[in-house]
């Protein structure tokens, strides 16, 4: 058993870390997060051209690097540490995953090379306060002679106001739950699509609201079989949950690291406050959260990899994703919250970065289901004899 990164995976992680330490500084994050797009387009271009990150798990036949989910997670963990402001999550962990799971060969051959070339993408499915499962889809589609017409609205769409390409879920009128759902891919500037940026408490990741009014798409926009995409949507969301958990583990670790660094400098009563046991014990609890979260994440990463590539663990995806998302959500919030407390007064200022982690912890906790949501999902499986859907 080798439940640890290979040398190649370590190299990918370390390269990502070195690059992010240089480009995703506190100043850079603060400059990017106050813009409406939420990222520096020149930096994103550099990432796409020099680092080729957008192509990490796109198969080589479509021009990608052909690496797996573990490599992706190793990289995402570092992005979480450095609060990297970019359309990486939306494009790679929502858009690419949706295409890998649901698109046919022809669609992959059309869209994946566009993403490799630098186009951004995202996934829209949820309606206002409708939850995070496939039954939150309220937008509808209807068939026409040469394609489909989409109607309805989406909320909480990551980078929805800036993405080039949209993958959207819609349902047959009258259908419920996982039934009747289809996925479509379309350019974001299609006629009838209006997009509105939603200002958010966590400014490091952007959300938007999309309204679809009589949006006509060709038959070739349909991913998979009409009305049969419910399970695929769940798989896409679970893959995204693992990606979010990676971001969270990175942030959980960094919240601990910057806090301990401060505790080692700050003096009160003639000694560094890191020497007080009340402080040390809190820091020890924070390390426990970071390590246990990492264990949950790496297991989920292996499962996600097999979910995409095939393997005996593939059918554990929903459980592993819920375990990782539930634990890492609370771990991140715990560490960022403890961080503010341990920083003391300066932790409450805008100047110190711990507040940025505190806000990102909450937004990542909410997105795609908080700990309570995932515990209930697991409870249904454990106690009601349901499969975790």
Partner 1 sequence: MKLSFSAEDEQFREEVASWLAANLVGEFECVRGRGGPGDEHQLVEERKAWERKLHEGGWTCIGWPKEYGGRSASIEQQVIFNEEYARAGGPGRIGHIGETLAGPTIIAFGSEEQKAKYLPGILRGEEFWCQGYSEPSAGSDLANVKTKAVFDEASGKWRINGQKVWTSLAHESEYCFVIARTDPQSVGHKGLGFFLVAMDQPGVTVRPIEQITGTSEFNEVFFDDAECDASDIVGEPGEGWKVAMGLLGFERGVSTLGQQMLFQNEFDAIIKLAKENGAAQNPALRHRIAEAHIGLRIMRYNSMRMLSGGADGSLQKEAMIYKLYWASWHRNLGKLAMDVMGQESEILEDAPYELNRLQSMYLFTRSDTIYGGTNQIQRNIIAERALGMPREPRG
- Applying CB under 8 A, which residues contact partner 1? 1-6, 9, 70, 256, 260, 263-264, 271-272, 274-275, 277, 279-281, 283-285, 287-288, 291-292, 294-296, 298-299, 301-302, 313, 323, 326-327, 372, 374-376, 378-379, 382-384
Pull the structure tokens for residue 372.
């309570």
Residues in a beta bridge with 171: 140, 181
CB of 121 to partner 1, least distance (A): 27
Q: Is 135 or 257 the residue whose CB approaches partner 1 more closely?
A: 257
Q: Is 174 or 271 the residue whose CB approaches partner 1 more closely?
A: 271
Q: What are the angstrom distances between the C-alpha of 155 and each of 139, 211, 349?
A: 11, 9, 31
CB of 375 to partner 1, least distance (A): 4
* Whole-number Å distance between alpha carbons of 103 and 89: 19
CB of 376 to partner 1, least distance (A): 7
Q: Is 30 or 280 the residue whose CB approaches partner 1 more closely?
A: 280
CB of 148 to partner 1, least distance (A): 39
**Beta carbons within 10 angstroms of residue 358's beta carbon:** 22
* Whole-number Å distance between alpha carbons of 363 and 348: 18
CA 315 from chain centre, in angstroms, equals 21
* Whole-number Å distance between alpha carbons of 158 and 88: 10
Q: What are the angstrom distances between the C-alpha of 161 and each of 157, 247, 343, 377?
A: 8, 22, 36, 31
CB of 367 to partner 1, least distance (A): 19
- Whether the CB-CB separation of 294 and 3 falls below 8 Å is answered with no
Q: Is 9 or 107 the residue whose CB approaches partner 1 more closely?
A: 9
Contacts of 49 (CB under 8 A, 6+ apart): 118
CB of 261 to partner 1, least distance (A): 10
Q: Is 223 or 274 the residue whose CB approaches partner 1 more closely?
A: 274
The owner of tokens 């991140």 is: 332
* Whole-number Å distance between alpha carbons of 122 and 241: 14
CB of 17 to partner 1, least distance (A): 17
Q: Is 26 or 372 the residue whose CB approaches partner 1 more closely?
A: 372
Dihedral, 334, 340, 203, 292 alpha carbons, nearest 10: -30
Q: Is 2 or 351 the residue whose CB approaches partner 1 more closely?
A: 2
Q: Is 142 or 264 the residue whose CB approaches partner 1 more closely?
A: 264
CB of 263 to partner 1, least distance (A): 7
Rg (CA), the chain: 21
CA 263 from chain centre, in angstroms, equals 31
H helices of 82-205, in order, are 88, 97-102, 105-116
The CA-based angle 182-247-368, given to 5 degrees, is: 35
Q: Is 103 or 273 the residue whose CB approaches partner 1 more closely?
A: 273
CB of 59 to partner 1, least distance (A): 20
């Amino acid at each position: 058993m080798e439940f640890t990164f290979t040398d190649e995976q370590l190299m990918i992680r370390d390269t990502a870390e070195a690059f992010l330490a240089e480009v995703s500084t506190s100043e850079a994050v603060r400059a990017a997060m106050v813009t409406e797009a939420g990222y520096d387009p020149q930096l994103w271009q550099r990432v796409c051209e020099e680092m080729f990150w957008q192509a990490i798990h796109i198969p080589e036949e479509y021009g990608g690097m052909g690496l797996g989910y573990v490599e992706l997670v190793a990289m995402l963990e570092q992005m979480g540490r450095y609060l990297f402001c970019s359309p990486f999550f939306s494009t790679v962990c929502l858009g690419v995953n949706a295409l890998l799971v649901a698109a046919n060969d022809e669609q992959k051959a059309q869209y994946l090379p566009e993403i490799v070339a630098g186009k951004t993408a995202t996934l829209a499915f949820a309606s206002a306060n409708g939850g995070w499962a496939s039954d939150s889809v309220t937008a509808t589609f209807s068939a026409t002679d040469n394609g489909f017409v989409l109607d309805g609205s989406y909320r909480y769409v990551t980078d929805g106001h800036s993405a080039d390409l949209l993958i959207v879920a819609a349902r047959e009128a009258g259908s419920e739950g996982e039934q009747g759902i289809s996925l479509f891919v379309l350019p974001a500037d299609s006629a009838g699509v209006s997009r509105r940026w939603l200002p958010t408490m966590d400014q490091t990741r952007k959300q938007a609201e999309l309204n679809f009014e009589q949006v006509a798409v060709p038959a070739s926009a349909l991913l998979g079989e009409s009305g049969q995409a419910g399970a695929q949507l769940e798989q896409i969301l679970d893959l995204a949950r693992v990606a979010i958990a990676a971001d969270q583990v990175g942030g959980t670790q960094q919240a601990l690291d910057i806090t301990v660094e401060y505790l080692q400098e700050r003096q009160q009563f003639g000694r560094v406050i890191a020497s007080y046991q009340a402080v040390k014990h809190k820091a020890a609890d924070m390390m426990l959260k970071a390590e246990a979260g990492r264990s949950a994440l790496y297991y989920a990463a292996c499962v996600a990899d097999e979910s995409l590539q095939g393997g005996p663990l593939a059918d554990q995806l929903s459980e592993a994703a819920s375990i990782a998302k539930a634990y890492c959500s609370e771990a991140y919030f715990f560490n960022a919250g403890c961080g503010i407390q341990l920083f003391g007064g300066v932790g409450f200022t805008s100047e110190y970065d711990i507040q940025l982690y505190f806000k990102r912890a909450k937004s990542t906790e909410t997105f795609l289901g908080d700990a309570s949501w995932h515990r209930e999902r697991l409870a249904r499986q454990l106690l009601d004899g349901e499969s975790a859907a």
